[in-house]
Amino acid sequence: MSQVTLVRHGQANSGSNDEHGYDKLSDLGWQQTGWLGNYFDSVGERFDRIYSGTLTRHVETAKSMGFPEPVQDPRLNEVAYFDLSAKMHEQMGIKPPENRDEFVNHLPLVFTAWREGQIEDTIETYAEFEGRVDDVLHEIAAGKGRALVSTSGGWIAMSIKVAMGLQLNSMARLALTIMNSSVHQMHPVGAGLTLTQFNAVPHLADPDRQYAQTFI
């Protein structure tokens, strides 16, 4: 198996309340990911393979980092959170969050209700999401050379869950902490992948850049 580096996309259009409107980098998102690309270059970080989801923010993140056109795979796409949240509101009366504090409590509720089949008519089931993450993560890890994946926070949290055998509540808490443009690494240990780096933002460590350490 090969080392896999996961990068969460830069800040997206967080003022939107639907999937389409959210799916593009903000000006700060372009800056965050540009800095990350410069950091990789400055420390001699090289990747043999570049992957991304098919979402605009994933492809823009790879571009902003200065990488060639990534191999796009829809299995690397984020869970359709806005759709789940809207259906949860419609079907269960639980309103979508209006700020980060509400989001912290809301996300675990969404994932739990989704897993238990309490949200009807979803774009995909919880099991389908978990399955596609597991499949593509291990396919990429089975390839030759070091791989970089441009994706989203929920996808990264689920990939850690399937690699490390976490419980759902632990996975949801991880998802809440993942910063925009953060770096996560998995290395092969024995027959599986082990998380060796989580939520690193060395490109935002300088005091002049700490304002760019964002979650949404």
Tokens 């994932």, residue located: 111
Check: CB of residue 136 under 8 Å from CB of residue 96.
no
Beta bridge partners of 183: 7, 200
Coil vs helix vs strand at 105: helix
Question: Is residue 17 scored above 80 in pLDDT?
Answer: no
* Best-predicted range by mean pLDDT (7-21, 162-176, 200-214): 200-214
Tell me phi and psi for residue 116, to 5 degrees.
-80, 0
Check: CB of residue 53 under 8 Å from CB of residue 72.
yes
Beta bridge partners of 184: 6
- What pLDDT sits at residue 91? 94
- What pLDDT sits at residue 97? 80
Q: How confident is the model at residue 106 (pLDDT cuts 50, 70, 90)?
A: confident
Q: Which amino acid is at 61?
A: T
Average pLDDT for residues 101-105, to the nearest whole number? Answer: 82
pLDDT tens per residue, range 166-191:
999 999 999 999 999 999 999 999 88
Question: Is residue 102 scored above 90 in pLDDT?
Answer: no
- What pLDDT sits at residue 36? 98
As given in the structure block, the two tokens for residue 23 are 């799916």
The chain-wide mean pLDDT, for the chain, equals: 94
Tokens 């780096």, residue located: 197
The fraction of the chain above a pLDDT of 90, given in percent, is 81
- What pLDDT sits at residue 99? 79
Q: What is the pTM of this model?
A: 0.93
Beta bridge partners of 190: none
- What pLDDT sits at residue 206? 97
Coil vs helix vs strand at 205: coil
Q: Report the Cα–Cα distance between both ends of the chain, in Å, rounded.
A: 32
- What pLDDT sits at residue 194? 96
Question: Is residue 15 scored above 80 in pLDDT?
Answer: no
pLDDT tens per residue, range 107-161:
889 999 999 999 999 999 999 999 999 999 999 999 999 999 999 999 999 999 9
pLDDT tens per residue, range 74-92:
999 999 988 999 999 999 9
